[in-house]
Structure 1
Amino acid sequence: MVHDAAGRLLLVRRRRAPGRGRWSLPGGRVEPGESDAVAVVREVREETGLLTEPDALVGTVVRGPYEIHDYACVVLGGHLVAGDDADAARWVDLATFTDLDAADALAPELAETLRTWNTLPR
């Protein structure tokens, strides 16, 4: 989970299932032998082109067979570009996030989870 200095949230639109065509947080699987921190850096870089440093665990959710651990991250560098299994990547403010939610364009339960964790964009 990456917020910029303005409080906008980094989202990607999924190219593949699960969640194809929906906006979500960047992320993916932890590969064998990887720590969560290494996987977070790799997945965010692959999906967004940004180099990040993970910080604290924000929360954990279970979606089907997946246990998802969301970490707060800080951007260290790179240039925002969609890649890997994302067909778009963008920073969104609260108004845009609300519009995406109203259009049913977000991953299921994302908005409610971020509200619960008090991590919505500003």
Structure 2
Amino acid sequence: MNNEETEIVIQRRTKADSSFKFELPGGRIEPFESLIHALIREVKEETGLDVYEIEGIETRIDTIGINSEFEVECLKPFAAYQTIKGPIDSLGYYFKCKANGELLKAGDETVDIQWITIKELNHLFIQNSLGFSDVDRAGIKYYLKEQGF
């Protein structure tokens, strides 16, 4: 975040099966990994940034100590998505968080990692919404609407 405007990190994916579109940092959760640990890990791997505040973490509860063989966490993300048409069935969650540190030139299969203001994001999205990943397009629209755009 700069002194006046909220900024968001966008990047491009370099995996062979990706289309080199803008996307938000994210990835797959490891088996039995908590959502919060996955968020922190993926942001670090893809951008180099360290997450230090996560909106909604105060809602987190878990069942640790009830049954040592089956533990679950529950918390309120910023938004959730589910694909309703397309080649891949996908479900995911978005979290609003704060992070700091130096951006990587290239992360874990990511390049063109950059901070942009919400106004710049809105402009870029209006100019070329198809320039964003299919999965993140709805999440970005949701976030921009929440920001008053």
TM-score above 0.5: yes
Gapped regions of structure 1 (runs ≥ 5) = none
Among 112, 123, 133, which residue is 1:98 paired with? 123
Shift of residue 114 of structure 1? 2.8
Structure 1 residues 1-122: aligned runs within 5 Å: 4-5=1-2, 6-16=5-15, 19-53=18-52, 54-56=54-56, 57-63=77-83, 64-75=88-99, 77-81=100-104, 82-93=106-117, 94-99=119-124, 101-103=126-128, 104-108=130-134, 110-117=136-143, 118-119=145-146
- 1:39 is paired with a residue of what secondary structure? helix
Deviating 4+ runs (over 6 angstroms): none
Of Structure 1 and Structure 2, which has the larger fraction of its residues in helix?
2
Q: Does the Cα contact within 8 Å between 1:7 and 1:121 map onto a contact in 2?
A: no
Which structure has the larger Rg over C-alpha atoms?
A: 2
Provide the C-alpha distance between the structure 2 equivalents of 1:35 and 1:41, rounded to a whole number of angstroms.
Answer: 10
Gapped regions of structure 2 (runs ≥ 5) = 57-76
Q: Given the superposition, is the C-alpha separation of residues 119 and 86 from structure 1 closer, same or farther in structure 2, using an over 3 Å criterion?
A: farther
Q: Given the superposition, is the C-alpha separation of residues 33 and 109 from structure 1 closer, same or farther in structure 2, using an over 3 Å criterion?
A: closer
- Identity over the aligned pairs, expressed in percent? 24
Q: Does the Cα contact within 8 Å between 1:12 and 1:86 map onto a contact in 2?
A: yes
Aligned pair count? 118
Shift of residue 24 of structure 1? 0.8
Provide the C-alpha distance between the structure 2 equivalents of 1:83 and 1:24, rounded to a whole number of angstroms.
Answer: 13
Q: Given the superposition, is the C-alpha separation of residues 109 and 28 from structure 1 closer, same or farther in structure 2, using an over 3 Å criterion?
A: closer
Q: Given the superposition, is the C-alpha separation of residues 121 and 45 from structure 1 closer, same or farther in structure 2, using an over 3 Å criterion?
A: farther
Provide the C-alpha distance between the structure 1 equivalents of 2:95 and 2:134, rounded to a whole number of angstroms.
Answer: 19
**Superposition RMSD in Å:** 2.5
Shift of residue 98 of structure 1? 2.1
The one-letter amino acid paired with 1:71 is F
